[in-house]
Structure 1
Amino acid sequence: MRADAQRNAVKLREAAADLFQERGLQVSLKEIARRAGVSHGTLYNLFGSREALIDEVIADLAATRLSAAAARALASEDAWAGFAGYLTEVCELQATDPALGDVLTRRFPDASRLMAVCDNSYAATEAIIARAHQDGSLRPDFTASDLLFFLASHAPLARATAATGSDAWRRQITFMLDGLRAPTAVMVEVAALSPEEINRLLIQES
């Protein structure tokens, strides 16, 4: 890659990182190019697609933050505290970090590195939930797919609420957690959607 192309790529990565975290992963590519001070065509010549740019800029950041949240949950001696802390931390990322909020909705299936991060996060979520099932603190019919469904529906409202300067989204987390405690659970007869079904729904809505 020529020196001028390398400089442009660096400027585009920096501009994309800033705008993705300010506004989410669907921010206009033309706006990214403008902030970087290059043409729209240069962006496409260097990266080819939004998904490629997302993989370059966001995948490692998402992996670091999501894996750290999961590690804290799995390290907790109290399985329920670990689960509740993980749910709260992920929801806080949705409220305060638009890019991470979009990551968790899996709306960019062609961003292969990012999807690998999501797969790893889902596997960690299954392990966190399994611990809480094993000690009897989490209702037994709650699955990782249920959490994915909740996070997908929670993301836009959490972001909108946080943008007003309010932490009201935390109320919903408290209500959610109270309803998930095993001693108060009433079993649900409706089957959970599979991860694949949820992903298809999210892609259709994006």
Structure 2
Amino acid sequence: MTSPPSDQTPCPQPGTGLRADAERNRDRILAAARRLYATEGLGVSMASVAREAGVGKATLGRRFATREELINAVFADRMDAYADAVAEALGDPDPWRGFTGYLHAVCAMQAADRGFADVLTMTFPTAKALEARRAESYNAFLELITRAKNTGHLREDFTHQDVVILQMANAGVIAATGDAAPDTWRRLVGHMLRSYAAPGAPIPPLPEAPAPRALYRAMVRLSQAGPGTT
């Protein structure tokens, strides 16, 4: 028997099609979760993710057994970018400039993705990779605080908890304003930097306040969502 021509496509190995289907399902789930988390936050149910992805709940459960596993997979790259932002700030020869730039960068990440805004203000003990990157960023940020204080520009009573408070406040502003006044977070960060700065420290210009009509639309939007919701 002669061998088949060299350009003939070989027969797929048993199970290859199943593995490809599983990988496609995983990709669909991750893409759907990213879309929903970015626009609606982490309160989205696993069932909603399955519907958005066009898969059954059993399929979702086989790929990601828990909500934390899904969150870990969705936000792994964003946590990498978060860690990179701290490293870049530490690399700035002006620690105060690195500090202010870092806060802007992190708050911009929150504004770009509502789900990530939630991730930065929550902990997920079973999402090991996510929490490892968070811990790495935390330790680097402690060093950034020390360096910025040594310049005399960062207040001595500033603590790392103040950044968690800022992230919580920023997440709330982002959720409340939505598309009605999407740049409002910049004003918040500008005011907070002024509160962190020691007398005489160089401070970036304060961003403009949102237009009254835009802020009114945001207030209407928030009232329609109901008390205690965003």
- TM-score, scaled relative to structure 2: 0.72
Change (3 A) 1:162 1:71: farther
1:51 aligns with 2:64: no
Give runs of aligned pairs for residues 108-123 of structure 1, distance below 5 A. Answer: 108-123=124-139
Consecutive unaligned residues of structure 1, counting only runs of 5 or more, are 186-206
Contact kept? 1:106, 1:115, Cα under 8 Å? no
Change (3 A) 1:121 1:26: farther
Q: Which residue of 1 aligns with 2:56?
A: 39
Q: Which residue of 2 aligns with 1:63?
A: 79
Instruction: Give the drift of 1:18.
Output: 2.6
Q: Distance in 1 between matches of 2:183 and 2:101?
A: 16
Consecutive unaligned residues of structure 2, counting only runs of 5 or more, are 1-14, 202-230
Identify which of structures 1 and 2 has the higher relative contact order when contacts are C-alpha pairs closer than 8 Å and 6+ apart.
1
1:89 aligns with 2:100: no
Residues 117-171 of structure 1, C-alpha deviation per residue, up to 9 Å, x if partnerless? 2111211221211110111110111111221122123212133324314312222
Give runs of aligned pairs for residues 1-206 of structure 1, distance below 5 A. Answer: 2-3=18-19, 4-59=21-76, 61-183=77-199
Contact kept? 1:12, 1:32, Cα under 8 Å? yes
Instruction: Give the drift of 1:86.
Output: 0.8
Q: Distance in 2 between matches of 1:150 and 1:98?
A: 15
- DSSP 3-state at the match of 2:154: coil
Contact kept? 1:106, 1:118, Cα under 8 Å? no
- DSSP 3-state at the match of 2:132: helix
Contact kept? 1:13, 1:56, Cα under 8 Å? yes
CA RMSD after TM alignment:
2.1
Change (3 A) 1:159 1:96: farther
Change (3 A) 1:74 1:44: same
Change (3 A) 1:168 1:5: closer
Q: Distance in 2 between matches of 1:184 and 1:176?
A: 16
Change (3 A) 1:17 1:166: closer
Aligned residues, how many?
184
- TM-score, scaled relative to structure 1: 0.80
Percent identical among aligned pairs is 41
Q: Distance in 1 between matches of 2:136 and 2:72?
A: 15
Contact kept? 2:174, 2:182, Cα under 8 Å? no
Structure 1 stretches of 4+ moved >6 Å: none
Instruction: Report the residue type matching 2:87 in the other structure.
Output: A
Change (3 A) 1:178 1:154: same
Instruction: Please tell me whether Structure 1 or Structure 2 has the larger radius of gyration of its CA atoms.
Output: 2
